[in-house]
Structure 1
Amino acid sequence: MNTPRRALLAAAAGLVLAAGAQAQGTLKIGEINSYKAQPAFLEPYKKGMELAVDEINASGGLLGRKVELVIRDDNANPGEAVRAAEELLSREKVDVLMGGFLSNIGLALTDFAKQKKTFFLAGEPLTDKIVWADGNRYTYRLRASTYMQVAMLIPDVVAMKKKRWALVYPNYEYGQSAAASFKTLLKAAQPDVEFVAEQAPPLGKVDAGSVVQALADAKPDAIFNVLFGADLTKFVREGNTRGLFKGIEVASLLTGEPDYLDPLKDDAPNGWLVTGYPWYGIKTPEHEAFLKAYQAKFKDYPRLGSVVGYSAVKSIEAGVKKAGSTDSEKLVAAFSGLNVVTPFGPIVYRPEDHQSTMGAYVGRTKNVDGKGVMVDFRYMDGAKFLPSAAEVKKLRPAD
């Protein structure tokens, strides 16, 4: 065989090997979150992601490649989150970026995606700014926002017929957004409402005694609570000790999630109106399949974080399959109107604001043998609690 022909064959073989190696390489999902700061939600969230990745890989992977999670902790700091995103893209060469728990970090990553023109799926951050005021072409969001979840509570709140409301919320983007939505929506539905007190302690640093005393001094008919995690536990225990909740109604975001309700144990409240996740009572085919798989893998029951982590990775799977690529521009186009099956049923990522229609469960809390559960709950379809496309144009900058 002459030398030129031998060289040609060697080059061709090299190309085949390179293509094969690329096909056999992993498809990397870069994920950034506050794992150390918010373990109650994010440890189950990580398990949910792992279950979804296992299912994807068992069915052949994505684009002929095994899926791999590359995870970074942002230490609950927006600057560190952005640095982690830079590192994931430049050094780890991840194919897709997702994550975020705290709303201020979600906003930082949303801006990063815009600046870098890279696709980003915000799984958990709930502030409305992610899809409205600060929304951009490259960012989509999975979970029902603060506005959506507050709107789900408002009909029952109005039915309480309480005039004097006090509010307590963590003093950062999520809490501020939730409080603003509550006041706006309740005032529109019940014009004679009065907001007699507001307590906004720093996230993770609630002085429960002074907060409870200030609320009691205002003599409200009802309380709207947005605290979660360790702050919620301290607030509820102090409120129970001082009798704050006796004879008044409480409406509370997220408190029905086992991630936050379970740690309350004997202090779990009775009769609070909440959004949450009654995993033990959901009988849909989608949820029963998820529950069975989750319990088989982890020998534990899922939390709301588990559903969000699982659904986020499943969304990436659906988007990549539809796009036929992990190219950011193609993913942006694929996510517009994307249908995804989640444990809560089918959802759609809306073209007009990049918000998914995932809903939430609304019900009442009940302390059963020293454990908090949700009763009288119903699923609220997120699509019914979102503004129209015409309204979104006023809320969101043009992409």
Structure 2
Amino acid sequence: MGLSMFKTFARFGLTAILLGSALAAPVSAAEIKIGEINSYSALPAFTEPYRKGWQLAVEEINADGGINGDELVVISKDDGGKPGDAVTAANELVAREGVVLLTGGFFSNVGLALADYAKQRRVFFLAGEPLTDAMVWSQGNEYTFRLRPSNYMQASMLAEEAAKLDATKWATIAPNYEYGQSAVAVFKERLQELKPDVEFVAEQWPPLGKIDAGSVSQAIDAAEPEAILNVTFGPDLVQLVREGTTRGLFQDRDVVSFLTGEPEYLDPLGAEAPEGWIVTGYPWYDIDTPEHQAFVDAYQAKFDDYPRLGSLVGYIELKMIGEILKKAESTDAEDLIAAAKDLEMDTPFGPITLRGIDHQATLGAYVGTTAVRDGKGVMVDFTYKDGADYLPSDERVQELRPQ
């Protein structure tokens, strides 16, 4: 064989080997990248369990074949609890990282900033935690959806219980920003609809994270209310409970409180937890449905820890995104919107719907009373309230939501 012929055969042989190797190599699944933004450094008590929840969901989704065969990848950023930083993070995720949608949010003012960004940039956004009603009603837009039960929904649940009390003179304590203002306004409205003789005799609006609990307690006590609505949470709640208890603020008074039954906020109080408050929360330790127990078992197996409400929100949030992407079979924002509207899915709390009319999910909440058990605050005598039962009519929604 001549040298030239040998070289020809060698080239053909090498080509065949390379071609064979290419055909034998496994085809890598494509990645679908989504952007997640939350206030990790500003409120770790909620957001760290939340992160674990969505990590568990992503792991389960990918183990089950991903998104129609593609791997789901989450790129996460911290907004520090600041609307401006959240928008900057969103822009980096969309422009630099090429994410196909956004999710997350904790504080209501941050959530509204992200919702406006989604509208301006035409990017799909699923808000997990922000509770202000403006998110889906007065400032609602085609690109924004919300998972958690809103202020209106939780206020309606609490007002239903508050109306059963003998108290007619009420005072309110709430952080002075969008969430607190919205929660107080809708609770007043809902309670007075159910019990017209109710009057509100005092209000306190401490700045978020900077409550002067002594002054707040003194001012509320001076008004001599028969009942108190509390909307504080996190470190503010701890200070209010301790100072208010020391000053006798809660003695012989009914207290109704948003969020206080959530482990994130109840656990830090330990044996100092208030008793007999009517609250929304998450009594994970006593919910015995198979769907919820499966979630708890998976969470504990992965993290060797018990879930908080943030864990559940993060888990359902990413599971919902997975269902939307699978249904859409596309990452185009308009296709995602169409897939999200009236989406039905199962959760550890049971089946829910992501309503097409206002982009609000029907996820519910547990309502019960606080107690101390084994030196720790817990919820007792609780009932799950289906979110679908605490939303206004379609006609009312059309009045509330811009066309």
The TM-score, its normalising length taken from structure 1, stands at 0.94
CA positional deviation for 1:26: 2.0
Contact kept in structure 2, 1:254 and 1:276, CA below 8 Å: yes
- Partner of 2:110, secondary structure, is helix
Asked whether 1:45 is paired with 2:50, we answer yes
Does the 8 Å CA contact 2:111/2:130 hold for their aligned counterparts? yes
**RMSD over equivalenced CA pairs, Å:** 1.7
Where do residues 301-380 of structure 1 align in structure 2 (5 Å cutoff)?
A: 301-380=306-385
Counterpart CA distance in 2 for 1:38 and 1:242 is: 28
Contact 1:26 1:66 in 2 (8 A): yes
Which residue of structure 2 aligns with residue 97 of structure 1?
A: 102
1:266-305 alignment runs, 5 A limit: 266-305=271-310
Once the 2 structures are TM-superposed, how far is the Cα of residue 66 of structure 1 from its aligned partner?
A: 1.6
Supply the AA of the counterpart residue of 1:129.
Answer: A
CA distance in 1, matches of 2:248, 2:120: 50
Instruction: Give the distance between the partners of 2:143 and 2:42, measured in 1 at CA.
Output: 27
Contact 2:39 2:47 in 1 (8 A): yes
The structural deviation recorded for 1:316 is 0.2
Question: Following TM superposition, by how much is the alpha carbon of 1:118 offset from its aligned partner in structure 2, in angstroms?
Answer: 0.9
Counterpart CA distance in 1 for 2:158 and 2:299 is 29
**TM alignment of 1:1-399, pairs within 5 A:** 24-398=29-403
C-alpha distance in 2, partners of 1:226/1:378?
Answer: 20
Paired with 1:96 and 1:299, the residues of 2 have a C-alpha distance of 31
Q: CA deviation at 1:226?
A: 0.2
- Residue 369 of structure 1: CA displacement? 2.6
The 2-side partners of 1:317 and 1:69 are apart by 11
Q: Which amino acid aligns with 1:245?
A: F
Maintained 8 Å contact 2:344/2:351: yes
- Give the Cα–Cα distance (whole angstroms) in 1 for the partners of residues 318 and 160 of structure 2: 33
| Partner Cα distance (1:369, 1:283) in 2 | 20
Amino acid aligned to 2:264: D
Quote the Cα distance in structure 1 between the aligned partners of 2:398 and 2:107: 26
Return the letter of the residue paired with 1:78: P
Identity of aligned residues (%): 60
Q: Deviations over 1:44-66 (max 9, x none)?
A: 00000000011011111113222
Which amino acid in structure 2 is aligned with residue 103 of structure 1? S
Structure 1 residue 361, shift from structure 2 partner:
0.1
CA radius of gyration, larger in: 2
What amino acid is the match of 1:329? E
Q: Report the residue type matching 1:307 in the other structure.
A: L
- Match of residue 3 from structure 1: none
Q: Is the deviation greater in 237-246 or in 250-259?
A: 237-246
How far, CA to CA, are the matches of 1:387 and 1:190 in structure 2?
Answer: 18
> For structure 1, which segment, 335-344 or 62-71, has the greater mean C-alpha deviation from structure 2 after superposition?
62-71
Which residue type is aligned with residue 257 of structure 2? S
Give yes or no for contact 1:33–1:73 (8 Å, CA) kept in 2. Answer: yes
- Give the CA deviation at 1:153: 1.0
Q: 1:154 offset after TM fit, Å?
A: 1.3
- Is contact 2:100-2:123 (8 Å) kept? no
Q: What CA deviation, in whole Å up to 9, does each residue of 1:280-327 have, x standing for no partner?
A: 111112101101100110111100000000000000011011101121
Could you tell me the TM-score, scaled by structure 2's length? 0.93
CA distance in 1: counterparts of 2:32 and 2:335, whole angstroms: 16
3-state secondary structure, aligned to 1:93: coil
Q: Aligned-pair distance for 1:389? A: 1.1
Shift of 1:186: 1.1
Q: Kindly state the Cα deviation for residue 24 of structure 1 after the two structures are TM-superposed.
A: 2.3
CA offsets, 1:81-113, max 9 Å, x none?
011000000111112210100000000011111
**Structure 2, unaligned stretches of length 5 or more?**
1-11
Query: How far does the alpha carbon of each residue in 1:104-138 deviate from its partner, in whole angstroms, 9 at most, with x for none?
Result: 00000111111011100000000000000000111
Look up the match of 2:9. Answer: none
> Contact conserved, 2:160 with 2:191, CA < 8 A, in 1?
no
Question: Alpha-carbon deviation of 1:227?
Answer: 0.2
Q: 8 Å contact 1:63–1:325 — kept in the other structure?
A: no
- Structure 1 unaligned regions, length at least 5: 1-5
Indicate conservation of the 8 Å contact 2:53/2:313, yes or no.
Answer: yes
